[in-house]
């Protein structure tokens, strides 16, 4: 796509970026190329397409599109968000150190703690709200600052301007997992990030039918390393998943607007409800980092709310969840889908943590995470109203 077209508005890029009608057929929907191998024209001359673990036309199209949507850099896509993260971390060398924000996604923590650490790469987790604290933990061998915003599951907001300031002062690049802030709301490159990671499985694809991940980077050497990782580690995204993501991302702006509106209404309702102890939603004025969120998140604050119920007795929680299920709220893992999803981190994403560690992170026994879908929000509110009576 010619460069000047990238100046168009984000909603236009969502539809057209990287996807001109097919030159030979005029097809408007992407061409799905499932071929594993390619006929090579000339002996001794390298072909553009050779073997789909290395490169695949549908995958390349998605990679081009994601980089345009992020506003810069070059993308590589992988078979899941954690596969993207693993491929990124494995570009580091033994002896390298990563300084990460305190509340990273549980799977990221497990990846670093149980796998990446085996390769001689070390890491620390610190509170990324305080510059002095962060600077204290930077070592000579720190290769990256690693942040996630809003954090999962407590929806803390990391101030990317602050991270950029620290990155500039220390000369250490930062990488941002923007799974909870897709580019319709925040483009981390505009805040100085060198590299952006996404689980495509959430907002980018957004229909509960794709598992995928992406790394988009401005660092050319890192990008070459990631291409090497695709070919060598092979944790690539299949052409079918690339095709679905290309199609599904087109509605990102519409979906983001819908779920952000619904989530704000639900958050306001829960905030006033006598059976609720606390509500975490960046769009609420009561959120500890609302000011930063307002500056950093455009077009709404997303569809995810976390809340803590006052009553956390197992029996009552069971009745609460059963009643919500009867109102079409799905009890399950993950977020960002047509279906409203209710997750319970103490028995899901954070089950592996010792109880005292989980509690120290504020994930109490009554902690739930709700991801608003595309249903009528009145129906969701009705479901909550009836179900909260069970507590």
Ligand X SMILES: Cc1ncc(COP(=O)(O)O)c(C=O)c1O
DSSP class of 19: -
Between residues 82 and 377, which has the closer beta carbon with respect to ligand X?
A: 82
Q: Which stretch binds ligand X (CB under 6 A): 61-69, 134-142, 173-181, 279-287?
A: 173-181
Contacting ligand X (CB under 6 A), which of 19, 74, 103, 148?
A: 148
Task: Please name the helix (run of DSSP H) or strand (run of DSSP E) that holds residue 355, with its range, or none.
Answer: helix 355-360
Contacting ligand X (CB under 6 A), which of 13, 33, 68, 82?
A: 82
Angle between helices 377-388 and 314-326 (to 10 degrees): 150
List strand residue ranges (DSSP E) for the chain, in order.
Answer: 74-78, 97-101, 122-126, 142-148, 174-177, 195-199, 213-217, 276-280, 304-309, 330-331, 341-343, 367-371
Query: Could you say whether residue 179 binds ligand X (CB under 6 A)?
Result: yes
Return all residues near 256 (Cβ < 8 A) that are at least 6 apart.
Answer: 182, 184, 185, 203, 299, 300, 302, 303
Contacting ligand X (CB under 6 A), which of 152, 217, 225, 340?
A: 152
Between residues 65 and 391, which has the closer beta carbon with respect to ligand X?
A: 65
Query: Could you say whether residue 153 binds ligand X (CB under 6 A)?
Result: no
CA atoms within 13 A on the CB side of 34: 3
Q: Which stretch binds ligand X (CB under 6 A): 37-45, 78-86, 127-135, 354-362?
A: 78-86
Between residues 107 and 192, which has the closer beta carbon with respect to ligand X?
A: 107
Q: Which stretch binds ligand X (CB under 6 A): 54-62, 79-87, 94-102, 215-223?
A: 79-87
Query: Could you say whether residue 138 binds ligand X (CB under 6 A)?
Result: no
Contacting ligand X (CB under 6 A), which of 55, 56, 201, 217?
A: 201
Q: How far apart are CA 50 and CA 39, in angstroms?
A: 8
Which is it for strands 142-148 and 174-177: parallel, antiparallel or unpaired? parallel
Contacting ligand X (CB under 6 A), which of 177, 194, 241, 248?
A: 177
Q: How far apart are CA 104 and CA 124, in angstroms?
A: 11
Rule CB under 6 A: which residues touch ligand X?
80-82, 105, 107-108, 148, 152, 177, 179-180, 199, 201, 211, 213
């Amino acid at each position: 796509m010619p460069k000047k077209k990238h100046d168009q508005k984000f909603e236009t890029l969502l539809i057209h970026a990287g996807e001109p009608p097919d030159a030979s057929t005029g097809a408007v929907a992407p061409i799905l190329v499932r071929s594993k191998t390619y006929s090579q024209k000339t002996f001794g001359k390298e072909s553009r397409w050779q073997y789909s673990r290395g490169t695949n036309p549908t995958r390349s199209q998605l990679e081009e599109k994601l980089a345009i949507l992020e506003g810069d850099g070059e993308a590589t896509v992988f078979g899941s968000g954690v596969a993207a993260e693993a491929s990124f971390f494995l570009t580091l060398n033994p002896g390298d150190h990563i300084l990460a924000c305190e509340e990273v996604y549980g799977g990221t923590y497990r990846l670093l703690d149980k796998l990446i650490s085996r390769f001689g790469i070390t890491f620390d987790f610190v509170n990324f709200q305080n510059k002095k604290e962060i600077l204290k933990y930077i070592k000579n061998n720190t290769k990256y600052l690693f942040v996630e915003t809003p954090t999962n599951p407590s929806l803390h907001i990391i101030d990317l301007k602050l991270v950029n300031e620290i990155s500039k002062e220390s000369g250490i690049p930062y990488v941002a997992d923007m799974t909870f802030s897709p580019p319709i709301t925040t483009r981390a490159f505009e805040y100085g990030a060198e590299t952006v990671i996404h689980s495509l499985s959430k907002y980018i694809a957004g229909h509960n039918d794709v598992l995928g991940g992406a790394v988009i980077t401005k660092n050319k050497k890192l990008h070459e390393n990631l291409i090497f990782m695709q070919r060598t580690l092979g944790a690539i995204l299949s052409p079918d998943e690339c095709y679905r993501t290309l199609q599904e991302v087109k509605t990102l702006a519409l979906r983001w607007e819908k779920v952000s509106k619904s989530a704000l209404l639900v958050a306001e309702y829960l905030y006033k409800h006598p059976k609720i102890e606390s509500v975490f939603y960046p769009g609420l004025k009561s959120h500890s980092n609302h000011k930063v969120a307002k500056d950093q998140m455009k077009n709404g604050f997303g569809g995810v709310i976390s809340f803590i119920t006052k009553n956390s007795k197992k029996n009552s929680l069971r009745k609460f969840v059963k009643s919500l299920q009867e109102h079409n709220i799905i009890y399950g893992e993950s977020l960002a889908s047509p279906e409203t999803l209710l997750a319970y981190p103490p028995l899901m994403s954070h089950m592996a943590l010792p109880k005292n560690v989980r509690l120290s992170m504020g994930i109490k026994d009554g902690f739930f995470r709700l991801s608003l879908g595309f249903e009528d929000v009145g129906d969701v509110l009705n479901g909550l109203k009836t179900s909260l009576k069970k507590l």
